[in-house]
Homo-oligomer: A and B are copies of this chain.
Amino acid sequence: MYRTLTLIIVLAALGSFRSTAAQDRSSFDGFKFVDASGNIRKPTDYRDMYYMLGSWTVLDPKGNQMHFTYASQGAAEYYRRNKKFADGTVLVKEINGTDHAQMTTGDSNWATNTNAWFVMIKDAKGRYPNSPLWGDGWGWALFKSDAPDKQVATDYKKDCLGCHQPAKADDWIYVKGYPVLHSK
- Seen from chain A, the residues whose Cβ lies within 8 Å of a Cβ on chain B are 2-3, 6-7, 9-10, 13-14, 17-18, 20-21, 24, 45, 47-48, 50-52, 54-60, 65-66, 68, 70, 76-77, 96, 99, 103-112, 114, 162-163, 166, 174, 176-177, 179-180, 184
Contact = CB atoms under 8 A, between A and B. Distances in A.
A109 B52 contact: no
A158 to B, nearest CB: 14
Contact of A24 (B14, B18, B21, B104): B21
Contacts of A68: 52, 54-55
Given A47-B179, A56-B109, 13 more contacts: A14-B17, A20-B21, A21-B21, A47-B180, A48-B76, A52-B52, A54-B68, A55-B55, A55-B66, A65-B105, A96-B179, A99-B176, A110-B174
Number of copies: 2
A73 B163 CA distance: 33
Given A21-B24, A77-B48, A96-B179, A58 B10 contact: no
A9 to B, nearest CB: 6
B58 A106 contact: yes
A51 B54 contact: no
A179 B112 contact: yes
